[in-house]
A and B are shown apart, each in its own frame.
Chain A
Amino acid sequence: MMEKAKEKSPNLAIELAGISLKNPVMVASGTFGYGEEYAKLIDLNRLGAIVIKTITLKPRLGNEPPRIVETASGVLNSIGLQNVGIEAFIKEKLPFLREYVVPLIVSIAGETSHEYVQLAKRLSGEKIAGLELNLSCPNVKYDRKLMFAQDPKATHQVVSRVRKVTNLPLIVKLSPNVTDIASIARICEQVGADGISLVNTFLGMAIDVESRKPVLHQITGGLSGPAIKPMALRMVYEVHQAVEIPIIGIGGIMTAGDALEFIIAGAKAVAIGTGNFVDPRTAIRVIEGIIDYMVKNKIKDIKSIVGSLRCPKGSL
């Protein structure tokens, strides 16, 4: 009996950047708030991990609306990192999430590498599972022309400086709006990142033809949802060939099949973003679907299929 039961429940647990996850399905930063809203709809403890909406040193009001527009199989957003700031987050938001056993990864963003350092230091004393450096928000414009993740030197500087001040697992979220994402990922690995989140949103825009105005107040925004899945998948595939550290695949995952594509391409874990808006149960459905797939294909351990892509002979 015991043997049979064991056979029927495949092992979904993974170790990700030093964090133990009971399954590889996480929820992505910026799409899950601070968890309070979704806690009313799903059991947060069933998730592999929660990546908290990006926190900055000071509270941010965010961008002027309109901030969101639906496009074909996707969503363009320009929220602009509206958040309560690190102190209010620790005081008012974190205690609620502590009630759960699910690992919490806190996404942080700064205007300068010094701010990332300050945020990392401040959070290092807190009971959280890890940090995600958001180097790739397309909707905030500081004094720099490029996002951190579009600038190899800036990426090098911020990741290495943060690495020096914290022992927390360090995940870096990269931007797909670059020519060679694998080279940026390699830099992160070289300076001590423990994992890579791929990808943030793709820059895009929408225009109202009657008024000839951009739909978003900030003109451009970040595209997410099923529309970006093939592009995100390609990037995970490329980065997997370039680095040893684990990859979290993100980009339009709506079904277990989508998640499995990312895993086979080389992602050790996946995160649901826009899918949470469409159906708050998406992550739970994905977990259940992965189990079904593993049972059906007699896969005992999820780790055995990470990066298991079978390329046709003669393909490049």
Chain B
Amino acid sequence: MQIDAKIVENREIAPERYKMVLSAPEIAHQASPGQFVHVRVSRGYAPLLRRPFSIHRVQGQKIEILYKVVGKGTEILSRKKRNGYLDILGPLGKGYRLPSTSKISDVILVAGGTGVASLMFLAESTLHAHPELSILVLIGAKNREELLCEKDFTRLGCRVNVATENGTRGYKGLASELLEKCLLLSRDTFKPSLFACGPTEMLKRIGEISRRHRFPCQVSLEEHLACGIGACFGCVVKAKSSTYTYKRVCKDGPVFDAGELIWE
């Protein structure tokens, strides 16, 4: 659906990283983890297209998005004031398929940068439905300052491990390397379900790890979108079929089984 959502809050939570809270009752009610909203940041033509943001959290009638200022669109968004309105479409896309307890006992979420956004919603929903599940969250960032949501995941009751590329906090290296290290230390019968969101290179590596270990793995892709609803076929990724096919990130995803994608 398309609504004018009131901005309840728009706050810088880390350098160039913002959290925006929007009043959007209908979207809050329907949203599931991994889905996104498509936001018109400007009434003019600069930028022309909407910008997609994963739903970070649902709190009653409100939804939250988490974003990093990367260009003109997010820069404009970061200057939006409280009590203003934003034209948003949502909830859009196919989100994560929630882990069911009959099949698994362990869940690992791997987040890179602002990839924490959709995984927070997933962790909250999963624990709400299955409080007995054990969730391990691995968060990667360039440095300590850019690390997001560590405390929020801990507060939820997740175990959290952190990796920074410069080593200013936690493991020194990439989130995918931290995942390999955790798997090395675990027992052979350990069969977690993996959920990953972050830069494409990271997702590719996580996908490769899950393939080797035969762990089920869902990844949330980030793409430039035009329509955001599946009409224009602008945002496709290569996926397996008898040969290959192109799937729409906005409608067939953004969450895919890592095994169905053809990484290049």
Partner-B contacts on A (CB < 8 A): 30-33, 36-38, 40-41, 53, 61-62, 64-70, 72-75, 77, 79, 82, 225-226, 254, 274, 276-281
Q: Is the CB of A70 within 8 A of B49?
A: yes
Task: Tell me if A's interface is mostly helix, strand, loop or mixed.
Answer: loop
Indicate whether B34 reaches chain A with its CB closer than 8 angstroms. Answer: no
User: Which of B227, B244, B245, B246 is in CB contact (< 8 Å) with A277?
Assistant: B227
Cα-based distance from A115 to B36 in the complex (angstroms): 40
Q: Which of B16-24, B127-135, B169-177, B234-242 contacts A (4 or more CB under 8 A)?
A: B234-242
| Pairwise interchain contact A279-B231, C-beta atoms closer than 8 A | no
> Is there contact, CB below 8 Å, between A70 and B224?
yes
B57 contacts partner chain A, Cβ-Cβ < 8 Å: no
Q: How large is the interface on B (under 10, 10 to 19, 20 to 34, 35 or more residues)?
A: 20 to 34
The answer to the question of B199 belonging to the interface, with a C-beta cut-off of 8 Å to chain A, is no
The answer for the CA separation of A66 and B225 in the assembled complex, in Å, is: 11
Given A31-B232, A62-B246, A68-B224, CB of A280 within 8 Å of CB of B89? yes
Q: Out of B238, B244, B246, which one reaches A82, CB within 8 Å?
A: B246
Q: Choose from B48, B230, B245 the contact partner of A33 (Cβ within 8 Å).
A: B230
Decide: B2 and A280 in contact? CB cutoff 8 A.
yes
B48→A279 contact, CB < 8 A: no
- Which partner residue on chain A sits nearest B227 by CB separation? A277
Q: 3 closest A-B pairs (Cβ-Cβ)?
A: A68-B234, A33-B231, A73-B45
Q: A73-B46, A226-B48 are in contact. Are A79 and B234 (CB under 8 A)?
A: yes
Query: Which residues from 131 to 160 on chain B have a C-beta closer than 8 Å to any C-beta of chain A?
Result: none
Contact A278 B229 (CB under 8 A): no
Please determine whether A72 and B234 come into contact, CB atoms closer than 8 angstroms: no
Tell me whether A278 and B40 are in contact (CB under 8 A). Answer: yes
Rounded to whole Å, the gap between the CB of B225 and the closest CB of chain A is 8
Q: Which residues of B contact A280 (CB under 8 A)?
A: 2, 89, 229
User: Besides the contacts A77-B232, A79-B234, what 5 more A-B pairs have beta carbons closer than 8 Å?
Assistant: A31-B231, A31-B232, A33-B232, A65-B235, A66-B224
**B226 interface residue per 8 A CB criterion:** yes
Q: Give the contacts of B75-89 with A (CB-CB under 8 A).
A: 87, 89
Q: Is the beta-carbon distance between B229 and A38 smaller than 8 angstroms?
A: yes
- CB neighbours (8 Å) of A74 from chain B are 48
Chain A residue with the shortest CB-CB distance to B228: A277
A/B interface sample: 7 pairs, CB < 8 A: A31-B232, A32-B231, A37-B229, A37-B230, A61-B246, A279-B40, A279-B87
Given contacts A72-B46, A254-B45, contact A37 B227 (CB under 8 A): yes
Indicate if the CB atoms of B233 and A75 lie closer than 8 Å.
Answer: no
Q: Is B259 an interface residue (CB 8 A)?
A: no
Q: Taking CB as reference atom, which chain A residue is nearest B44?
A: A73
- Rounded to whole angstroms, the CA-CA distance of A147 and B229 in the bound complex is 30
